[in-house]
Amino acid sequence: MTEATGDPEPRPDVDQDESLPKLSCPHCGAKYRPKRPTRGRRVRCRHCDHVWRHEPDTANAVAGALDGAAANWMRLGSTLLSRTDHASTLGHAVQQVSKEHVPLASEWIDKSLGRYDIRSVLGEGAMGYVLEAQDRDLKRTVALKILPARISPDREPIGLKMFLQEARVAAKLQHPNAVTIYEIGNEDGTYYFAMDRVQGVTLAALVDQHGPLPANQACYLVAAAARALAAGHRLAIVHRDVKPSNIMIDISGLVKVTDFGLAHVAGIEGINELAARAVGTPGWMSPEAARCEEITPASDIYSLGLVLYAALTGKRLVSADTRSGLVREHCRSVSVRREDLPPGWPPRLRDVVVQCLQADPQDRYQSADSLAADLLRALAPSEDDKTLLLAHNHEKKPAGYVSSTLSRIALAVLILVAGVFGIWWWLYRAS
């Protein structure tokens, strides 16, 4: 292992190489000037002992792959759109008949769980640590999620239920745009599950490093995420925590939805314990989720609209200084209007965002598949793909048809003109 040396404010050091880029610990923020190249190597922060792999080119590789994937997606648009529309129509027809000591993440380095040898830390969330590990039997690299010690199965059974549910929901989903679960286990009271190691970055990190995404890339990303969520919705799974940091893109441009720890699954024991809470991440919640009201697939669609807005603009639509302030802002959210969005966006793209971000769930897309299809339409230039607005009980009139009302008006005008001319003629003859 390579140890990065330095201080939060580096001091002059003759051994330091000024040509090497500075490093910043993603855990505590300490700054370092390395003495030797660290690209592709594991490094440890001497201040907080956090261990990570220094891969500065990952975001650039993802951005390039994403551009190619989005371009291919647009070229195949007409075929994919037809397939999606037919699948959506068919689906609709079928639907009708304690606080304890928390070990540092770095303490897991070079240890083992089951057949997995832990190598480095990938991240840390509310529901556990995510580590990079090597499967000794299958000789493959996996991501290993471990339930933190602070969530005791005895004192916090809901925490364990949510942790296990995340693995079971993702394993049940089996969709190319959802993370794949390999195994779930328990060793000496430590619960863990192994999943595929996505070699890439989150949407949050990509936007943070590269700024707002082009419209075709943003639509491609959200459409892929929408398809994964639609597959979950068909299984009565509502994600409830859709946000940029839970959407990953690998270096081939493949999109993966992750972290189903807060998902609502019909019939799953324990999920009702969250019914009285505002479940989700402030800044990315639907209004009904913030008000602790009934959660439906439309709640995920609202969050996808927020994600799409953030991907296109680089900033959140809802903002506040505190978490509680964000929840209050969500509670009183009003429907987004076309004039609230940047005028430079394609008109149909604005329509998609507006329909996602309606305050009333009934006014949003009722299917994530429909959202994915409309994202494809949003940038498609074909005249044959225009969305037609049908009037209620409206019948198409034959060519050359003139309404009866129009005929009566024309007849009345002719009679009036004839009457005026007749009066004028009579007065002329009398004089």
| Catalytic residue positions, numbered | 241
Cα 398 to Cα 388, 390, 394, 408: the distances in Å are: 18, 17, 13, 19
d(CA 159, CA 220): 34
> CA-CA-CA-CA torsion for 383, 387, 389, 394, nearest 10 degrees?
70
Q: Is 368 exposed, middle or buried (0-12, 13-18, 19+ CB in 10 A)?
A: buried
d(CA 26, CA 104): 14
Residue 132 dihedral angles phi and psi, to the nearest 5°: -90, 130
d(CA 428, CA 431): 5
- Tell me, letter by letter, the H, E, C secondary structure of 267-330: CCCCHHHHCCCCCCCCCCCCHHHHCCCCCCHHHHHHHHHHHHHHHHHCCCCCCCCCHHHHHHHH
d(CA 297, CA 367): 8
User: Amino acid identity of 136?
Assistant: R
Angle between helix 297-313 and 347-356 (nearest 10)? 140
Residue 182 dihedral angles phi and psi, to the nearest 5°: -95, -45
Find residue 194's DSSP bridge partners: 144, 183
Q: Are 239 and 232 within 8 A, CB to CB? A: yes
Q: Are 241 and 281 within 8 A, CB to CB? A: yes
Q: Are 268 and 183 within 8 A, CB to CB? A: no
Q: Are 105 and 26 within 8 A, CB to CB? A: no
Find residue 191's DSSP bridge partners: 186
> CA-CA-CA-CA torsion for 423, 424, 430, 431, nearest 10 degrees?
150
Cα 354 to Cα 80, 290, 348, 411: the distances in Å are: 23, 20, 10, 46
d(CA 51, CA 126): 19
